[in-house]
Amino acid sequence: MHIPRHETGPPDLTTPEGFGAFYEDHIDAVLGFVTRRVADPHLAADLTADVFLAAMGSADAYRSHRGAPVAWLFGIARTVLSGHARGLARESGAPARLSGRRLLDAEDVAALEERIDAERAFRDLAERHAALSEPLRAALDLVVLDQLTPAEAARALGVTRATVRVRLYRARRALRGPAPVTESQLEAVR
């Protein structure tokens, strides 16, 4: 397991060495974020690569006083995943979804499938809390699963800390108890 270095300034993504170090420090966190939300190993690899490409393109936008690099990367990852979802909605047919993918060798696929299987428990839980509204799920995922502080989650979501805390309270309240969330409960937390 790679232990991230403490970063005090903007990530140096302008040099191969700087980008390599940044990538090594954060690849596991970003890949974990993506594989908890995507079940296809090819797509997980592509989206993870897209997150780091987007980070390279916006490295000058990183502000260390606003949170850890991983929170910044998770914000980028949410944007990449949202963009992918919007793109799928516009596309029609499987051939369009398959075009442009980098082919993975058997070892890459096996490693990603193993990672995806390891995240299966999360996906089962995600199905159980699927009745939560997207803002509630997003706040809960960033704080509970991705282990960001409410302040870091607020930065990744582009909202205030108070908003994140209210969303966390409502999400936890809706998930409490043995009964599944009903439509009336869902309306109460929106």
pLDDT of residue 106: 81
pLDDT of residue 184: 57
pLDDT of residue 152: 93
Farthest-apart Cα atoms in the chain, separation: 54
Q: Model-level pTM greater than 0.85?
A: no
Q: How far is CA 81 from CA 54, 85, 105, 140, 176, in A?
A: 12, 6, 24, 17, 28
Which residue numbers in the chain have pLDDT < 70? 1-11, 89-102, 118, 121-129, 177-190
Whole-angstrom Cα distance, residue 48 to residue 44? Answer: 6
Q: How far is CA 74 from CA 111, 142, 185, in A?
A: 22, 8, 29
pLDDT of residue 11: 65
pLDDT of residue 3: 44
Whole-angstrom Cα distance, residue 25 to residue 8? Answer: 14
All domains in the chain, ordered by first residue = 1-121 (1.10.1740.10), 129-190 (1.10.10)
Residue labelled with tokens 């390279």:
56
Contact criterion met (CB below 8 Å) for 145 and 126: no
Residue 123: CB partners within 8 Å, gap ≥ 6?
36, 39
How buried is residue 85: exposed, middle or buried, by Cβ count under 10 Å (0-12/13-18/19+)? exposed
